[in-house]
Amino acid sequence: MSQIITSGGYELEYLFHAETYNGNIIKQNPLDTPKFSSGGSSFTDVVKENIKRFSLVGKGHVFTIDLQDGHFEADGNKLYPPTEVLPGADLRLIYWRTVTRSVGIGPDGRTLSPQVKYIIGWQYTMRGKNHKWEIGIT
């Protein structure tokens, strides 16, 4: 991946691809700027859509959360949630990232790079109870 730094001061090692139910694909760009919205991040374009599948692509891997049945895929290998997704559940996308910045110098004498952790998953509410499943990727 290129060495493009976001406005937040760190490089995105994974970029998302979001597939909508109407067949559109929304791809995040390395600068994390929106394509269809006037402000915000690339994710601003996603929140306005009904997402079917959401993938993180980078470091030679593809991680996907499928919002039709709730399964997760790592390079095509499926993993199903530890609890059953109830019939009629309307799965909503969970996506966020945390950035940990350490103050210090690495062994090469350079400032340590921020560590980014990506979280993807789903949630739904049924009979007054919230259900969710998240997976972290570093």
pLDDT digits (tens, 9 = 90+) for 89-130: 999 999 999 988 777 777 877 777 788 899 999 999 999 999
Contact by Cβ (8 Å): 71, 64: no
Cβ neighbour number for residue 70 with a 10 Å cutoff: 20
Residue 100 confidence (pLDDT): 84
Cα–Cα dist 77/23, whole Å: 23
Does residue 8 fall inside a structural domain?
A: no
Q: Which domain holds residue 68?
A: 15-137
Q: How many domains does the chain contain in total?
A: 1
Residue 1 confidence (pLDDT): 44
Does residue 6 fall inside a structural domain?
A: no
Cα–Cα dist 3/44, whole Å: 23
Cα 114 vs. chain centroid, distance in angstroms? 18
Identify the burial level of 51 via C-beta atoms within 10 angstroms of its C-beta, where 0-12 means exposed, 13-18 middle and 19 or more buried.
buried
pLDDT tens sequence across 54-81: 999 999 999 999 999 999 999 999 999 9
Does residue 10 fall inside a structural domain?
A: no
* Comparison of pLDDT for 10 and 61, the residue scoring more: 61
Does residue 112 fall inside a structural domain?
A: yes
Does residue 78 fall inside a structural domain?
A: yes
Average pLDDT over residues 13-23: 95
Does residue 102 fall inside a structural domain?
A: yes
